[in-house]
Amino acid sequence: MKARVIVTLKAGVLDPQGKAIEGALRSLGVEGVAGVRQGKVFDVELDAADRAEAEAQLKAACEKLLANLVIENFAIEIA
Amino acid sequence: MKAAVVVFPGSNREGDMARALRQATGRAPAMVWHAEHELPAGTDLVVLPGGFSYGDYLRCGAIAGRAPVMEAVRAHAARGGLTLGVCNGFQILCESGLLPGVLMRNAGLRFVCRMQHLRVERADAAFTRHYAPGQTIEVAIAHGEGNYEADDETIHRLEGEGRVAFRYCDAAGVVGGAANPNGSRNDIAGIYSDARNVLGLMPHPENLIDPLVGGTDGRALFASLAA
């Protein structure tokens, strides 16, 4: 089973990398960019029997390691 | 004082740390590999040194914070055992849940590597007995992700319980403004656990123990621990 985990910074958490990318886009002349936030994507292969099991495994993976819940949110997409 | 220094793949300050501990205690610390499940019997102090554990992949200190040896470190800290994390070690303590909060990318985006003044916030912890409260010291900093962040409630708790160990300041001891090298909340450079037996800090006191390298303000921390 293929799945994707997306980890993003919580709203309000300073994202200097996003800010730097935002500035770079502006200096390249890319118009209309009001803001950029940088996140992380993990493509995960799972041996889960069904979607519910896969979701539980991914949730555990996020809470244990993939996301730091002090500053980050995560979203799970199962193919 | 029996000290142990944990070495992770990517640690690079374990040698400096061992030298500082040897100078203060008169004996070499045990060097403990991250894959171990136990600390040497009778360990009084565990130190997580600076560096780039596991290449700082995922997040600084995230993978190291979950290494096998950290179960033993957690048990040691829960027993009241002294635990010190410097720089990447501080990041590991936060990622492992031994200290609250997180170290974010420096607000100015740059890796900062320079001498830095600190204010010693209290001198009644096992780590700071050889300093005077409010004393200004000069040590080295070298980090890209030292911007301490926590939610408002955690910051209130740390301040209210007197758990801020060191703050960034200028040469005159004035805290704030340009003296803050990385954007840390409340100019925090280091914090204690609630029982004050765990200390995490970004600056490197272990690099300022010899007049040959420009100062000895780090010595008192190790002398305090050895006492």
User: Looking at residue A30, which CATH number applies to its domain?
Assistant: 3.30.1280.10
In this prediction the ipTM stands at 0.84
Q: Which domain holds residue A47?
A: 2-78
Number of folded domains that form chain A:
1
Cα separation values, B192 from B120, B159, B195, Å: 12, 11, 8
Q: What confidence score (pLDDT) does residue B69 get? A: 98
Q: What confidence score (pLDDT) does residue B17 get? A: 98
A13 touches chain B (CB under 8 A): yes
Q: Which of B87, B95, B145, B169 is catalytic?
A: B87
Q: What confidence score (pLDDT) does residue B88 get? A: 98
Q: Which domain holds residue B87?
A: 3-226
Q: Which of residues 136-165 of B touch A (CB under 8 A)?
A: 147, 149-151
Torsion of CA B170, B160, B129, B207, to 10 degrees: -40
B138 given a catalytic annotation: no
Å from B71 to nearest chain A CA?
14
- The answer to whether residues B54 and B110 touch, using CB atoms and an 8 Å cutoff, is no
pTM of structure: 0.94
The pLDDT-based confidence of A43 (bands split at 50, 70, 90) is very high
Q: How high does pLDDT run on average in chain B?
A: 97
pLDDT tens, residue by residue, B147-164: 999 999 999 999 999 999
Q: Report the run of H or E that residue A45 belongs to, with start and end.
A: strand A39-45
Q: Report the run of H or E that residue B54 belongs to, with start and end.
A: none
Contacting residues for B156 by C-beta, under 8 A, at least 6 apart: none
Q: Which long-range contacts (CB under 8 A, 24 or more apart) does A32-38 make?
A: A37/A8, A37/A9, A38/A9
Q: How many CB pairs under 8 A join A and B?
A: 35
Q: What confidence score (pLDDT) does residue A16 get? A: 83
Tokens at A33, concatenated: 């960019």
Q: What is the DSSP letter of B96?
A: T
B197 touches chain A (CB under 8 A): no
- The answer to whether residues B224 and B131 touch, using CB atoms and an 8 Å cutoff, is yes
Number of folded domains that form chain B:
1
Which of B58, B63, B104 comes nearest A14 by C-beta? B104
**Cα–Cα distance measured from residue B147 to residue B154, given in angstroms and rounded to the nearest whole number:** 15
Q: What is the CATH number of the domain that holds B22?
A: 3.40.50.880
Count other Cβ atoms within 10 Å, centred on residue B67: 20
Count other Cβ atoms within 10 Å, centred on residue B225: 24
Mutate to test the interface with A, among B53, B99, B105, B157 (most CBs of A within 10 A): B105
